[in-house]
Amino acid sequence: MRRKASLIHVFCAILGVFAASLRAAPIRVRTSDEADKAAEVFESLYGAKVKAVKATRDAGDDIELAARLLAAAKEATKQPGFLAVLCEKAADLAGGHPTGYGTALAAMDLLARTVPERGAACAARTLEIRQQQFDAARGDEKKAAGELLLGSLLPVIEAKEKAGALAEAAALYRKARTIAAATDSPRADEIDARAARLAQRMKTAARIADVKALLERDPANVSAREGLVRIYLVDLDDPAEAAKHLEGVKDKSLRKYVPAVAKGVEAAPELACMELGEWYRGLGEKVAPGAQAAMYARAKAYYERFLSLHTPDDLQRTQATLALKEIQAAFEKSGGPPPAQSARGRWLDLLPLVDPAKDVVKGDWKRRGSALAIISPTKNGRIIIPVAPEGSYELQAKFVRTSGDCEVAVILPVRSARVTLMLSASRGHQSGLSLINGKGANDNETTVRPGTLVNGREYALHITVLAKGGQARIAVLLDGKPYINWRGPQSALSLYPNWHLREPGCLGLGAFASVVVFRSVRLKMLSGEARLLRPAAPRRG
């Protein structure tokens, strides 16, 4: 227990330094003059009130004034400099007491959405408040507070990784693991997997540094130059960066193919697609298992582009089709993860990927032709779609509820966060996203009343999930009409424990005490890739 307490105290210290460094950095909303004027206006309106409440020992008047400042900020969205001052002062007043945490978090949420350039500072402040919530919580509340803290921490870690601050990201992952272990978090496996990927990335970065140091000492070392190109090409799957290091390389295949693949799949002409697909497939057969997925995914993309351009039903088309099957077979034999699907700009059918024998979390799920159904009423019945969209995406689903009057659910990953879209929650009283800042679909800004669904009627969902930096937008159309439109920090999103999936980052379907048939579910990536957990389940019958 002493060791765990010590680790958490160290974590708090690191978060404090991290948050303070971001808040201390001067960030101009527009111009320094505008910021000064905003501060003057604030002082004239609220300066005396702030001094008065700070002079008392009662936290209630601080929190009450913070709520008034937040309300004023919501009226000042066209004056970002003034809004920033209002939100920051509201967080200062409310963030020091448990009953004010909600107001402080709402202020940071509003500021991050309205003034995106303040996003990093708001994320740091949110993280600090979530840590205070976690420290103060007890019993079951500790688990909920831990999930919210992890929801704020993981986007910060992603930002560190993106900025190349790998050592800092690794340290924060260790702290995330401590929180997950202390609260028995369902995110523990996800955090372990992310930390392992980062550790591998750090090893690769060290190898690159060693090779570059060797080349500085001996610029004529051809083997080292070719090794550097292969690290970027294979280990990091970054052909554009590999192309920057071709000078002095003598390997003919690298000199021929790397410049071509550096231009991207979309730039390859028809015949080149076949040749590049074969080259990448050959690389996949030779490299270590950890790098196979990326090589086969590249090969697959070139073969698929060839098939989209090459219309004659001839030997070359047959060759490309069989090559795709060989790639699939290689992964089925090895048991490793299948190649990622970019699905960018095209729709990917998801239901054929689901295997009820492997993917059910709870409930009696069966195939009905090409559809997927939960065939008996179950509390929190849910099934995994073995696809993890890593980026922004659109999701379309058609479904029919045949009996029951409760939730139809879609579990949505949003980068490192997750949230459930609840339709017809509480026997149709409302629909909404759950959870938003710890609040369910019946009590947050996405709540739609009533949320009634008619049994026997087919409904069409179109969901757009946009994730950039630490922010997100989730827009839901129901039967082509706007239904839900939410914007905010990814850290505000979480799941009730009884809707969690065992696979990190995956999509999921669910129902509560109802029989539901999902007739189709399709995914289109807008950015990033869709990572498959395994090849598609074989079709029977």
CA–CA dist 219, 211 (Å, integer): 11
- As a whole number, mean pLDDT of residues 41-57 equals 94
Q: In angstroms, what is the C-alpha Rg of the chain? A: 26
Q: Which residue has the tokens 């991050």?
A: 112
- Name the token pair of 122: 């708001």
Three-class SS of residue 441? coil
CA–CA dist 297, 339 (Å, integer): 5
- As a whole number, mean pLDDT of residues 55-73 equals 94
pLDDT of 337 strictly over 60 = no
Dihedral sign computed on CA atoms, order 425, 429, 432, 434: negative
418 within 8 A of 409, measured Cβ to Cβ:
no
367 within 8 A of 356, measured Cβ to Cβ:
yes
DSSP-based helix, strand, coil % in the chain, nearest 5 = 55, 20, 25
CA–CA dist 261, 501 (Å, integer): 37
178 within 8 A of 188, measured Cβ to Cβ:
no
Span 513-535, pLDDT tens digits: 999 999 999 999 888 888 887 65
pLDDT of 30 strictly over 70 = no
By mean pLDDT, which of 83-92, 183-192, 424-433 is the weakest?
Answer: 183-192
By mean pLDDT, which of 79-83, 194-198, 220-224 is the weakest?
Answer: 194-198
Q: Which residue has the tokens 């060290």?
A: 206
Span 451-509, pLDDT tens digits: 999 999 999 999 999 998 788 999 999 999 999 999 999 888 988 888 999 887 899 99
DSSP state of 435: -
Q: Which amino acid is at 138?
A: R
Share of residues in the chain with pLDDT > 70 (%): 90
Peptide bond preceding 435 in cis form (omega within 30 of 0): yes
260 or 353: whose pLDDT is higher?
260
Span 11-21, pLDDT tens digits: 555 555 444 44
Q: Please identify, in words, the CATH class of the domain defined by 348-532.
A: mainly beta
CA–CA dist 116, 119 (Å, integer): 5
- Name the token pair of 381: 């019945």
249 or 338: whose pLDDT is higher?
249
pLDDT of 100 strictly over 60 = yes
331 within 8 A of 535, measured Cβ to Cβ:
yes
CA–CA dist 505, 341 (Å, integer): 15
- As a whole number, mean pLDDT of residues 19-33 equals 47
CA triple 138-87-67, angle to 5 deg: 65
Enumerate the domain spans of the chain.
2-136, 202-334, 348-532
533 within 8 A of 335, measured Cβ to Cβ:
no
Name the pLDDT band for 4 (thresholds 50, 70, 90).
Answer: very low
Averaged confidence pLDDT in the chain: 87
Dihedral sign computed on CA atoms, order 22, 25, 27, 33: positive
Three-class SS of residue 7? helix
Element (H, E) at 443: none
Give CA 153 to chain center in angstroms.
Answer: 13
